[in-house]
Structures are given as C-alpha cells and as structure tokens.
Amino acid sequence: MLFNFSEQQPNGSSVLIHHRKSHSLDTNNGVSVDIKPQDRKLKQNSRTQQNMCRCIVAYPPNSEYELELRVGDILYVHKIRQDGWYRGTLLRTGKSGLFPSSFVEKI
C-alpha cells in the first residue's frame, strides 16, 4: 500500500512524504521525505542580500577575468579572496569575474 502526504511548512516550502507498507508486520516501512521550496526566489533573496555590494569608483578591467565596474553597479559576491579581490557577478550584465574590493561598498 502506498500513501502520499504533502505538508505546507511555515517557511513556504512543502514536505512530500511517501509511505509504503505491504502489511502490518512489515519491518521496512519505506518512508522517504522530499523537501522542495515553494518559492526559490525567497531563498535566493535572503542569501544574496548578505553578499551584495555597490560600486563606488569606476573600474576598467585589466584582463579578461576582471569585470568592468560603473559607479552604482550592484554585484553579488561569491568569494572574498585574501589578496583584496572579490569574485562575483555583476547584476547589470550577468557576467562573473574578479573586481577589487576597494572599489565597492557592502550593502
């Protein structure tokens, strides 16, 4: 016998529970749980707001690995490097690359 249950969580995700049991003496209950967020943007927004910065000084790239920054550009920071550079994505263009941390401020 197979039972499917779906439960709405307070954080907007749903929990789907599959339960399978062949008879009352079956010791293998076969329970599995799948958690799927209803709204992935909500999860992404909470994560990205912690790692956002704004360009305060224009920066012309010196290599193909660097991003061109304009004053006011918003960037998502993926990695903070020890050498004072960030790896991130420029929201205006969707391109990812390196940029100097001294040219941006955290928002």
Stated pTM of the model: 0.55
- Single out the residue of 48, 41, 59, 65 nearest to residue 101, CA to CA: 59
* CATH number, position 63: 2.30.30.40
Q: Do both 54 and 76 map to the same domain?
A: yes
pLDDT by residue for the chain (107 residues), tens only, comes to: 545 455 555 555 554 554 454 544 545 445 444 445 544 554 555 454 569 999 999 999 999 999 999 999 999 999 999 999 999 999 999 999 999 999 999 99
Q: Which residues span the domain enclosing 10?
A: 2-38
Specify the number of domains making up the chain.
Answer: 2
CA distance 45 to 64: 29
CA distance 60 to 44: 29
Q: Do both 62 and 32 map to the same domain?
A: no
